Structure 1
Amino acid sequence: MGNDFYDLRMSQKFDWQSEDEDRWDDLMPSEVEQLKSSGKKRWLLAFFVVLFFLSGAVVAFRQIKDYTSDAEKIAENDVLSSNNLVQAAANDADGELLATVLSGRDPDWTRTQLSLVNGGLFYEREPFGLNWQPQASPIEVNVTVSPDFRGAEVTARHEYSLVDEEPSQFITLDHSVVYRRSEDRWLMSPPFGEYWGELITVNGRFLSLTFPSRDEAIGRRLAADLEGLLSAACSTIEGLECNSATHLFVKLDTDPQSMIDVAEVDARFRVTQDLLLPTPTLVGIPTDEGAYRAIYRGYAEKVLSTFLGQVAGWHCCDHLLFYQALLDMQLAKLGLSPWPLDESHYQQLLDGESELSTYLWASEASASELLAWPDAWQAYVLVEYIVAEWAEVPPIEMQRRLSSFSYFPEWLQSVSREGVEMSFAEGWRQFLEHRVNETQYMASHTR
């Protein structure tokens, strides 16, 4: 109750008013209305000023955006013009035409690009079991211009057919080309370091694979699949002894020179512990699962060929045609290489249209001369006959012993069971007749 009394007295004693209320009470009604009206006007003025600047900003933004868009379209068209010349140069293997749109910033890179075009290797991927289809390429072209309009990347999708596949099968790969703006045109240029990124290495039991981070996704998949391939080879290929020292180091290289090296005729026979192959961006990025399997097969053939040569301890290029036939026999069993013989080959030898030549065993000729010899297929027939009828050691051991003998009869005797020198010629014709009948039967049942 005391508090109520105190509140009552205070309310009676004081009449609470603010200074603003006193001032408003002293003003005439018309003055009050004028002040209120002027306040509204100031707010409206401020609103319109802000609106004006916002409208100007929007207009300026749209103009800048339109200008940037127009500039980007102009740049894209200019880049495509240069890219069309590169495409034409690749189609015609015309290095002189390529030189008109080629940067000279890195002389080694420039010479390599000219060599690729002049050698028909700019888009051709035969070393990976693929044939370029220029009449159907490119299927799709995309241009990405850098924000400063000084660089651009063109990604073009090209079609390929698989070598030795009947009926023909087709896949597509994406190829990337970098351009830099010069004073008067866009030039095909080597990528800067950040284009490739850091190197990544994946270590396995039988394989260590190094690749640039740009190709990390496909690089990691290749590492796993190639490791699985070598593991399967060690467990399924008769006579292949894999131990703790059996390890292959493979680098997927960003240097375009690797595209030339891998295309050399004797590239698959270079036995080394450090194998250098072009990285997938140089070969072409697969666009789907079928394309990946095709690219993988190309890498797998090279990796396993080097691995088998390393284990066999073979020295290139001792009795190369026999080594090639034995190698392809093992690759064929793993589905990585077609066996190149058909009925016509056996029939030619059976009819006496071709005779086995001592040139098959020759070591005087160069590797390129031997591999280009039209009758090199005879070595496949002879090796097939020896393995099927006479050999008492597996093909990998036959490969290993090639470097130990200078004469064919000595090597043959070392890999075959006793009595081969007496009966070898007698069984030859019977073997050819059997293979003719067998290939005819297989051909008639696969049509």
Structure 2
Amino acid sequence: MAKFDWRTDEDAPWEEEIRAERPLPTPRRRYGLLIIPLLIMVIAGGIYLLVHRVDQQVTAATQNVSSDVLAVHQLLAEAAQAEDTELFAAQLDSQDSLWFDTAQSLLEQNLFHNRASFWLWVDPSQTAESPTVTLSPDLTEATVTERLPYLTKTASNETETIWLEQTAHYVLDNDHWLLTALPDDETFWGKWRTVEGRYVTITYSERDSAIGAQLAIDLDAYVAQLCAETAVPCRPNLEFRLRLSREFTNLLILAQSYRQINTVSMSLPSVYRMDLPTPTLLGWPSDDASYQALLRGYASWVTAVLTDRLTRGNDTVPDRFILDQLVQIGLELPPAPNFNLLPQEPPPIPLPNQDLLVSCKANGASDLWVYQLDSNIWLDAQNVMGQLDPFLNITLAWPLPSDEGVLLFLRRVVNGDYHSQVVLWANGTETILADTAESFEVAAWLAPRMSRNGRYLLLYQLIFNEDDTADSDVEQRFWLLDLQACIAGECVLQETDGVPFWSPDERHNLVVSIGPWPVNLRLNDSSGTEIGVIGKGWDPFWLDDTRFGYVRTAAQAEEFQAGNPVEIVLTDVTRVEDEPTILLTTADFTALELGPMSRVTAVDQRIFVNDILPVPGRDELIISLVTWSAEPVTNTSIAQYFYAYDIATDSLTPLFPTTDTTTYPLSFAQDGRFLTVFTAGNSNWHLNLYDMQTANMLQYNITPTQEYPLPGLDWSADEAWLVIADERMLRLIAPAHDYEYTIFHNYTGCRSANWISN
């Protein structure tokens, strides 16, 4: 029997139960829970990278745009500093024609950055701080702000440098950034605010409120001091209303004299009104020193203008009186627009050993000064002129040849009655050449105004016809004054029936008759006896004592219309009856390469000979040509070209072109080196000096005035220096050395200066 191996349950082996283990967190579950934040992180990272990349691209684009704006801003500054008008104009937005013209006028008058009449000049020894660019969201507009260094003069008469923040606005036009006007809306400027003081009421924009509010307090204090401590006759109800203008054109006021500012209030005679540029236009002060500089500028204008207006009851109040009042309250007159604190370079050649006779007019009063160049002293010439009628106004001063003296023309109108004087002033002595109750004028716009040797002076009269049957409301009559006879005590006005052009030896003259144009030309001898009738023509000229020429219509047509063919002809006094020699015709000019400004085409051959001037001592002519298109003539459709014509070689040499209009005769220094051409720009006269030896051109800007609409100039005895009287300064120019020496003064309206013997 088999032995049985007995076991209890406890001893029996356990059958291992197969069961599913409790699932612990497996990697898959763990990863599943983590994937969401990971995805979020990945997406966020991608978005971040994308945004960062886009942001980088936007930043790069913004930086590129800002760089483009700054490049144009820098180019504009360099063009302004170099006075490169063409490059400067190319960076301007021309959509607003008034703003466009104003910007160019400011550059012409050296006021685009300088603020000379506010005692502020850009300091060339300092470097401007890095500008800041603010772009519009669409990157099509930009505002540039930068702090510029300015030289100024303190109340203690010391020179210091201050900093003013300038604001410029640019617009994108056909992928090119252009300087444009500041925004004209409340978003930029804010609303208008007004502060009233005892005497001064100021209106300003919210943008400039911090400065405007303080100016209101300080300017009112200056006016109160002016009324209390000086001889200015302030009325009890005096009110001065000043508006800080945000109009860009108001910057042109900086080129005016304080006497020219319109302050009239038609409804309130005791109220004076004036606009001055707001600080955003002038320059925003950065600290107290710069604010004090700006305040002195505003205060000089306000007190000078107010003093002038309050003392106008006496029209003989001189600038010196006004200056004396301002000095008592620590101020000065606003300086001339081109005044500069920087020291001048020493002259390359000695200054002339001569004095200057300076004629001034302001508010109906005249002053005559002798400026002694060697001692820098101004002498009142009228105090030593006993015969000069003090009530007559000096309307013209004209030098005699070789600076032997000056002719003064004086006139006054009282109750509709005229009184005229012609006075010779020489060697400190005056000789009255004409003294009459007639309305004589000196023919100041004709060339020559007097014969070359200074014997004959041309005068004219305007006779206003009251007869309705007269051909014209105004009749012109011309008179000759023989200065040689006048000095001998036999001064007689001799009427002439035309405008004479004298030969160099004064033995003959060509007379341009009075009548419908073109008029007859006649040849007379020195006694006025007619030698012969030349024919119809204009622009007569003398090559020497016997040869003369003129312009006439082609085929000697009786009538002439602008654009018809013309001829320049030459003849002499011995063959008046013979046919003259034809030098040039319209066809010769049409064949010229006139350049990009020309309005002449093969079909439209519109050329006019505007002026002819012989070159002294040569068989050569300077010819001014005017061209225009078939379209209606405007200032922009006219171009002018200057040529030299050599008679011996029959050749034309181009000198220079201009789009200015010329309304002043051409002239030469006696040695024939420098051609003088006055042309009229947008707001200034331009004096163009062309060097016939080197073919170089120099141009100078001159500000016109109502009293002296035409500028005057005079060469020194050695013809090395040219003098021009500009606003409160005498400009001495040595063109052979491209040098200008400036004499600043405080006399308003002095726009005529002539060299005289000292």
Matched residue, 2:196: 203
1:62 to 25, 47, 52: 52
Q: Cα gap change, 1:179/1:104 in structure 2, threshold over 3 Å: closer, same or farther? A: same
Query: Alpha-carbon deviation of 1:173?
Result: 1.6
Are 1:265 and 2:257 an aligned pair? yes
Aligned counterpart, 2:61: 71
2:329 paired residue number: 334
Paired AA for residue 173 in structure 1: L
Task: Identify the match of residue 231 of structure 1 among 214, 220, 224.
Answer: 224
Deviation at 1:195, TM superposition (A): 2.3
**Residues 148-297 of structure 1: matches in 2 within 5 Å?**
148-163=138-153, 167-192=158-183, 193=185, 194-238=187-231, 240-243=233-236, 245-267=237-259, 270-272=262-264, 273-297=272-296
Matched residue, 2:38: 48
Identify the structure with the greater strand proportion.
2
% identical aligned pairs: 24
Contact 1:246 1:311 in 2 (8 A): no
What amino acid sits opposite 1:229 in the alignment?
Y
Compared with structure 1, are the counterparts of its residues 286 and 314 closer, same or farther at alpha carbon in structure 2 (3 Å cutoff)?
farther
1:356 equivalent in alignment to 2:381 = yes
Checking the alignment, whether the CA contact within 8 Å between 2:91 and 2:179 is kept in structure 1 is yes
Secondary structure of the structure 1 residue equivalent to 2:94? coil
Q: Is the 8 A contact 1:94 1:118 kept in 2?
A: no
CA contact (8 A) 2:300 2:333 kept: no
Contact 1:253 1:276 in 2 (8 A): yes
Match of 2:71 in 1: 81
Structure 1 residue matching 2:131: 3-state secondary structure: strand
User: Relative CO higher for 1 or 2, CA cutoff 8 Å, sep ≥ 6?
Assistant: 1
Structure-2 separation of matches of 1:139 and 1:173: 11
Cα 1:267–1:157 change in 2 (3 A) is farther
Q: CA deviation at 1:91?
A: 0.6
Q: Secondary structure of 2:178's partner?
A: strand
* Mapping 1:283-322, distance limit 5 Å: 283-312=282-311, 314=313, 318-319=315-316, 322=317
CA distance in 2, matches of 1:186, 1:362: 56
Q: Tell me the secondary structure at the aligned position of residue 178 of structure 1.
A: strand
CA shift, 1:143, in A, is: 2.2
Task: Tell me the TM-score normalised to structure 1 length.
Answer: 0.67
TM-score normalised by structure 2 residue count? 0.41
Whole-angstrom CA distance in 2 between matches of 1:167 and 1:311: 31
Within 2, Cα distance between the matches of 1:206 and 1:225? 11
| Alignment check: 8 A CA contact 2:197 2:220 kept | yes
The separation in 1 between residues aligned to 2:45 and 2:325, in whole angstroms, is 75
1:265 is aligned with what amino acid? S
SS, match of residue 357 in structure 1: helix
Counterparts of 1:132-151 in structure 2 under 5 Å?
132-134=122-124, 136-151=126-141
- Flag structure 1 segments of 5+ consecutive residues without an equivalent: 1-27, 381-447
- DSSP 3-state at the match of 1:262: helix
Would the aligned equivalents of 1:93 and 1:119 in 2 still touch at CA under 8 Å?
A: no
Q: Do the aligned partners of residues 334 and 82 (structure 1) sit closer, same or farther apart at CA in structure 2, a change above 3 Å counting?
A: same
Assess, with a 3 A threshold, how the Cα gap between structure 1 residues 105 and 332 changes in structure 2: closer, same or farther.
same
Query: Aligned letter for 1:150?
Result: T
AA aligned to 1:334 is I
Counterparts in 2 of 1:85 and 1:50: CA distance versus 1, 3 Å: same
- The answer (yes or no) to whether the contact 1:268–1:302 under 8 Å persists in 2 is no
Q: Which residue of 1 aligns with 2:120?
A: 130
CA apart distance, 1:246: 0.8
Query: Quick one: distance in 1 between partners of 2:307 and 2:746?
Result: 23
**Greater helix share, structure number:** 1
Q: SS of the counterpart of 2:195? A: strand
Query: In 2, Cα distance between the equivalents of 1:325 and 1:84?
Result: 42
Distance 1:267 1:183, change over 3 A: farther
Q: Is the 8 A contact 2:119 2:153 kept in 1?
A: yes
8 Å CA contact 1:270–1:306 kept in 2: the answer is no
How many residues get paired?
A: 343
Correspondence for 2:502 = none
CA deviation profile, 1:77-129 (whole Å, cap 9, x unmatched): 10111112210121122221112111122111111011111221101111101
Match of 1:88, SS state, is: helix
Q: Distance in 2 between matches of 1:97 and 1:182?
A: 17
Report the counterpart of residue 325 of structure 1 in structure 2: 320
In the alignment, the residues of structure 1 paired with residue 98 and residue 242 of structure 2 have an alpha-carbon distance, to the nearest angstrom, of 23
Unaligned runs of 5+ in 2: 1-18, 265-271, 336-368, 396-705, 709-724, 731-742, 749-758
Deviation at 1:353, TM superposition (A): 8.8
Q: 2:21 and 2:119 mapped to 1: Cα distance? A: 97
